[in-house]
Chain A
Amino acid sequence: MNRPFGTTILDTAFRYMVPFIMVYGVYVLLHGEYSPGGGFQAGALLAIAVVLTRLVQGREAVFDMKGDTAIILAGLGTLIYAGLGVLTVIWGGNFLDYAAIPLDLHAKELRPLGILVIEVGVTICVMGVIIAIYDALTRKDDDI
């Protein structure tokens, strides 16, 4: 798993697949309010794009994310979620009451906005955790 497989078919196929997987991941995230989908699924899709590159190209992959960066991103995603909850309390609402966001919008528009923010947090968290676990499983001993 640390060396590239090197076959022409894999090397060509994943170049076409990865952009579509990433676009589909963003679509699932942004369209999650209207259709099946949401943060967890989008995070898995975005992480698979990176994991697939690592599977095919090995450690020489250009499109890569380090395990340390990934776990920091995962913590950041959780922080976005919890931070929005704390901010809504500071802005005078209940915990995670999106209607308290101080924007000049109707509550019916504020609530989908809050849902989108926490879905972004969930996506970043799931993506970071999957990439970080993959990186920890496939790292060499001398990398530590």
Chain B
Amino acid sequence: MRILSMVFSIMLLGLLMFGSLGLPLIGDKDSPAAEHVSPRYIEKAYKETGSPNLVTAVLADYRSYDTLGETTVIFIAGAATILILRTAAGRKNAEGGSDE
């Protein structure tokens, strides 16, 4: 069983290494990820948003709807954490109070 799993792992490793040969090089300007919207952002972001920082221009202007979702997720996560922690503490407190 151990030998079988080892052989399977090595086969998977070989498959992944073979697959990685087909990936585009880092910084390749002809790769699919750099072809569609990236050149437009790089060329026109400052003209269209007035923000010299490209990351901020994309995060807060082009994709600000996405950032609104992120902020809402953070707020909901915080609110849920507080609700769970306070409810757990309150229940423990109520049980401790009934024992006395």
Contact = CB atoms under 8 A, between A and B. Distances in A.
Contact of A71 (B50, B82, B90): B82
Interface of A: 32-36, 38, 67, 71, 74-75, 77-78, 81-82, 85, 95-96, 98, 107-109, 111-112, 114-115, 118-119, 121-122, 125-126, 128-130, 132-133, 136-137, 139, 141-142, 144
B64 interface: yes
Given A67-B82, A81-B67, A85-B65, 7 more contacts: A38-B60, A71-B78, A78-B71, A108-B50, A111-B51, A136-B81, A141-B93
A137 B71 contact: no
User: SS class of chain B's interface: helix, strand, loop or mixed?
Assistant: helix
A112 B61 CA distance: 9
B64 A144 contact: no
User: SS class of chain A's interface: helix, strand, loop or mixed?
Assistant: helix
B52 A34 contact: yes
B1 to A, nearest CB: 43
Contact of A136 (B48, B50, B82): B82
B23 interface: no
Given A33-B52, A118-B60, A74 B75 contact: yes
B77 interface: yes
Contacts, number: 100
Interface in B37-80: 48-53, 55-56, 59-61, 64-65, 67-68, 71-72, 74-75, 77-79
B92 interface: yes
Interface residues of B, number: 31
Contacts of A77: 71, 75
29 contacts: A33-B51, A35-B53, A38-B56, A71-B79, A74-B78, A75-B75, A77-B71, A81-B68, A82-B72, A96-B68, A108-B50, A111-B48, A112-B49, A115-B49, A118-B60, A119-B60, A121-B71, A122-B71, A125-B74, A125-B75, A129-B75, A130-B78, A136-B82, A141-B89, A141-B93, A141-B96, A142-B93, A144-B86, A144-B89
